[in-house]
Amino acid sequence: MGDNYKKNVREISNAWNQTHRIKRFTASPLTTPEYGWCWGQRVNDNIPVPKHLQVIPSELEIIKQDFEKRNLELGKKIKQLEEEKMQLGLDVDVQKLEVEKLRKRKNKAKEDLDRSCACR
C-alpha cells in the first residue's frame, strides 16, 4: 500500500501543479496588478517538507542507487584500464622495434667480425 499511496499522491500533486502553472501562464496577460502582487508575495515552493511527510526511499531503491553508483565507478575504472592497456601495448610495440634494431645491429657486427677474421 505504501508505494502505491506515494505514487497516487505524487500523480495528484504533479497534475495540480501542471494545471496551476498552465492557468497562470494563460491568464498572465489578463491578470490585474493586484493578482500579480499576490503572486509576488507567494511563499517559495522549495520549503522543506516536514519530516513526517517526507518520502523515505525503500530498501530496494537504496540498493538500486548504490548499484548504479558502483556501476558508474566501475565503468570509469574499465575505461581507465583500457586506456592503460592501450598505452602498454604501444610501449610493447616500441620495445619490440628497439629489440629488432639491436638484433640487426648485433648480426651486422657479427658479420663484420666474421669477415674481418676470415680476411686474416
Q: Measure CA 53 to chain center.
A: 31
As a dihedral over the C-alpha atoms of residue 28, residue 34, residue 38, residue 39, rounded to 10 degrees, the angle is: 20
pLDDT for the residue 9:
83
Residues 6+ apart with CB under 8 A from 58: 3
pLDDT for the residue 80:
96
Per-residue buried b or exposed e for 87-113, using 16+ beta carbons within 10 Å of the residue's own CB: eeeeeeeeeeeeeeeeeeeeeeeeeee
pLDDT for the residue 4:
79
Averages of pLDDT over each 10 residues, the chain, 120 residues: 75 73 54 56 61 80 95 96 93 93 94 79
pLDDT for the residue 68:
96
pLDDT for the residue 38:
55
- Rounded Cα gap, residues 34 and 20, in angstroms: 18
